[in-house]
Amino acid sequence: MKERSSIAVTGMGCICAAGADAVECIASLFEGKRNLVPPSRFRSTHPKIYPVLEVPGEFLPEKLRKREDLHLTGKFAVAAAHEAIANAGLSIRQLEKKRVGVCVGTTVGSSMNNEDFYRGFRMGGDPDMAPITRYLRSNPASAIAREFSLTGPCQTVVNACSSGTDAIGIGLSWIRSGICDIVVAGGADELCHVTYNGFISLMVTDDGPCKPFDRRRKGLNLGEGAGMLVLESEDSCRERMERVRSILFGYGCSTDAYHLTAPHPKGEGLRRALREVLRSCDIDTGEIAFVNAHGTGTSDNDRVESHVLNELLPGVPFLSTKGITGHTLGAAGGIEAVFTVACLETGRVPASAGFSVRDPDLPVSPVEQTTTFKGHTALSQSLAFGGSNGALLFKRA
C-alpha cells in the first residue's frame, strides 16, 4: 500500500465511566479503577444483573446535559470533540479557515431503536416523535460538524466494534489525500437496553468484572462514552506551531469473511490488518513498544488475539483497557487510541485490568503491572462483528 506523510495528533478528548475527560480517564487507567454498576437507565427482566460501566450524568458538562436535541451518543461525541479541539488549541476562527472533516464511529448512535417509542408504536398509539427527531439530529459526525460549523466531509462509520478505529484510519486517509487539513476522528456510543440484551443473548457477557485474557474470563462488560482525536496535516501543524502529541503513522484493515459474530479461529483478518499496517509504515516488529489489544474478555476474541500477537509480535507487551472502560462498542477504537497516545507520551503502560490468572491455552498474556517501555511506536487494534479488523500505528512525537 502506498503511504505518504505522517499525520499529527494535536488534541485528544475522552469521556467514559473512567472519567469526565482524558486526564481523569488516563489517571483511572493507571490506578486500575473499575466503576462497575448495575444498569441504571433501564430495567431488565434477566434473572441476573450483568454489571456495566456507565458514564455518570454529572460527567457531561451541564449545558450539554440539558440539551434536548441530542441523544446520549451525540452528547458524548460533542463533549469529547470539545475537549479534543480545545486540547489542540484550535479556535472556532481557526477552524473556519481550514478544511475540517469529521469521521466518527458508532453503533447505537445510528440505530433507530428507541424502545419507548417502539413500544408506543406497537400499542397502536401516537407516541411522541421526539426520540426520532433526536435520533435524526444526533448522527455523531453531523452533531460535531453542526456544533463547530464545520464544512468538510462528514462520515459516521457503523462498522460495529471496530468503528472508532476505522474512523480514525479514514481521517488519516482524508488528510493524506488532501481532502482535509484537519479531521476530528474517533468514536462514540451509549449503553442501552437493546445492546445489553443483545450481548447477553449471545452469551458473551460476564456477570462480574470482565477478565480479558484471563483463564477465568466469561465475557465482556458493556460500557459507553467517546474518544476523539484531532488529526492534522504537517502543513497545518507547521503553520500553527502547535504541540504535536503523537504521530498517526498508519492504518491497516481487513475482513475475516468468516462469520457474522465470531472472529476467524486463526485470526486471518487480524493478521492481514496488522501485516498491512506494519508493511505500509516500514516498521520492524521489534520497534513496537506495546499493543493496546481489543481484549474484550470473551473466550474467542482473546484466544484469537493472543495467538496472532504471539505469531506476529512475539515478546511485545500488550494490554486490554476494557476492564476499566467496559466494551464501548463503536467508541472503543476512539477511547483506546486516546489511551495509546497517552501511554506513548508517558513511556508506561498500566496493568491489564482484570487479568491475573494465565490461560494455558493462550500463548501470551497481557502485562500484569505498570510497565515502562523504551520504544516509540504502539499499535491499537479492534475486531468487530461482521469480521472487520482494524489497526492503528502511533509514534511518539
Interface positions, 112-131, toward other proteins (CB under 8 A): 112-113, 115, 118-119, 121-122, 124-126, 129
Q: What angle do CA 99, 101, 107 make, to 5 degrees?
A: 175
Among 11, 13, 19, 153, binds other proteins (CB under 8 A): 153
Q: Which of residues 357-376 bind other proteins (CB under 8 A)?
A: none
Residue 80 C-alpha cell reads as 469529547
Q: Should residue 226 be labelled a site residue for other proteins when binding is judged by CB under 8 A?
A: no
> Cα(215)–Cα(320) distance, rounded to whole angstroms?
15
Among 73, 139, 298, 301, binds other proteins (CB under 8 A): 139
Q: Should residue 197 be labelled a site residue for other proteins when binding is judged by CB under 8 A?
A: yes
Q: Which of residues 91-110 bind other proteins (CB under 8 A)?
A: 107, 110
SS (H, E, C) the chain: CCCCCCEEEEEEEEEECCECCHHHHHHHHHHCCCCCECCCCCCCCCCCCCCEECCCHHHCCHHHHCCCCCCHHHHHHHHHHHHHHHHCCCCHHHHHCCCEEEEEECCHHHCCCCHHHHHHHHCCCCCCCHHHHHHHHCCHHHHHHHHCCCCCCEEEECCHHHHHHHHHHHHHHHHHCCCCCEEEEEEEECCCHHHHHHHHHCCCECCCCCCCCECCCCCECEECEEEEEEEECHHHHHHHCCCCCEEEEEEEEEECCCCCCCCCCCCHHHHHHHHHHHHHHCCCHHHEEEEECCCCCCHHHHHHHHHHHHHHCCCCCEECCHHHHCECHHHHHHHHHHHHHHHHHHCEECCCCCCCCECCCCCCCCCCCCEECCCCEEEEEEECHHHEEEEEEEEEC
Among 1, 37, 49, 357, binds other proteins (CB under 8 A): 1
Closer residue to other proteins in complex, CB, 141/247: 141
Closer residue to other proteins in complex, CB, 94/261: 261
Among 32, 61, 89, 198, binds other proteins (CB under 8 A): 198
> Cα(175)–Cα(349) distance, rounded to whole angstroms?
29
> Cα(148)–Cα(80) distance, rounded to whole angstroms?
13
Q: Which of residues 201-220 bind other proteins (CB under 8 A)?
A: 201-203
Q: Which of residues 32-71 bind other proteins (CB under 8 A)?
A: 44-47
Instruction: Give min distance, CB of 103 to other proteins, in A.
Output: 9
Closer residue to other proteins in complex, CB, 139/320: 139
Among 41, 146, 215, 275, binds other proteins (CB under 8 A): 146
> Cα(137)–Cα(156) distance, rounded to whole angstroms?
13
Q: Should residue 310 be labelled a site residue for other proteins when binding is judged by CB under 8 A?
A: no
Among 87, 155, 246, 352, binds other proteins (CB under 8 A): 155
Instruction: Give min distance, CB of 240 to other proteins, in A.
Output: 22
Instruction: Give min distance, CB of 202 to other proteins, in A.
Output: 5
Tell me the window of 13-21, 76-84, 138-146, 207-215 that interacts with other proteins (CB under 8 A): 138-146
Among 28, 142, 296, 381, binds other proteins (CB under 8 A): 142
Closer residue to other proteins in complex, CB, 174/290: 174
Closer residue to other proteins in complex, CB, 275/358: 275
Q: Which of residues 243-272 bind other proteins (CB under 8 A)?
A: 253-261, 268-269, 272
Instruction: Give min distance, CB of 173 to other proteins, in A.
Output: 4
Closer residue to other proteins in complex, CB, 238/259: 259
> Cα(379)–Cα(326) distance, rounded to whole angstroms?
19
Closer residue to other proteins in complex, CB, 46/65: 46
Tell me the window of 63-71, 150-158, 225-233, 298-306 that interacts with other proteins (CB under 8 A): 150-158
Q: Which of residues 159-178 bind other proteins (CB under 8 A)?
A: 159-160, 166, 170, 173-174, 176-177
Q: Should residue 151 be labelled a site residue for other proteins when binding is judged by CB under 8 A?
A: yes
Instruction: Give min distance, CB of 265 to other proteins, in A.
Output: 14
Residues 76-87 as b/e (b if ≥16 CB within 10 A, e otherwise) read bbbbbbbbbbeb
Number of residues that bind other proteins (CB under 8 A): 73
